[in-house]
Amino acid sequence: MDNNFSTYMLADQSLRAGAGTLTIAIRLPWYRTLPLSTVRVAQLRIDGEDVPGDRIEFEINGHRRPLLQCEDLIDEQWFVLDDATLHVRGPDLKNQSEHLIDVTLNLHPPYMPGFTWVTHSSKRLQVQR
């Protein structure tokens, strides 16, 4: 689960909060561009609490969608150098407070049938406004 991408998957200083939503920037834990349909946010935890998928939206390439719709997006690409943003409804976090963020991504590269690349990243991030 932890691998060479774990340290970099959660972008430093990327936790932002305001108006009942928080955002977190994440990086693709793979060496090549992948279709969004092959990427699964397996788990998001904030301070040890699981965040249900229906409270998360995924933003990439200027498009923001409910997380649960991403598995159908075979033509949307996550380019290896681009950050994606997770938009999470609630909880209300205070400016400059520090929180433990845990994210697990499962990747299913289309050219490797039956293979799943699992990456977990955990960081303490401070809320930026």
The answer to whether 53 and 28 have CB atoms below 8 angstroms apart is no
- Average per-residue pLDDT for the chain: 93
Rounded distance between C-alpha atoms, residue 69 and residue 120, angstroms: 22
Whether 39 is covered by a domain: the verdict is yes
Whether 85 is covered by a domain: the verdict is yes
Which residue in this structure is represented by tokens 């998957």?
A: 9
- The tens digit of pLDDT for each residue in 89-98 reads 977 777 778 9
CATH number for the domain spanning 74: value is 2.60.40
Give pTM, 2 decimals: 0.92
Can you list the positions of beta strands (E) in the chain?
16-18, 21-27, 34-35, 39-46, 49-50, 56-60, 63-66, 77-78, 83-89, 98-107, 117-126
Domain encompassing residue 87? 6-126
Whether 1 is covered by a domain: the verdict is no
Whether 114 is covered by a domain: the verdict is yes
pLDDT of residue 94: 74
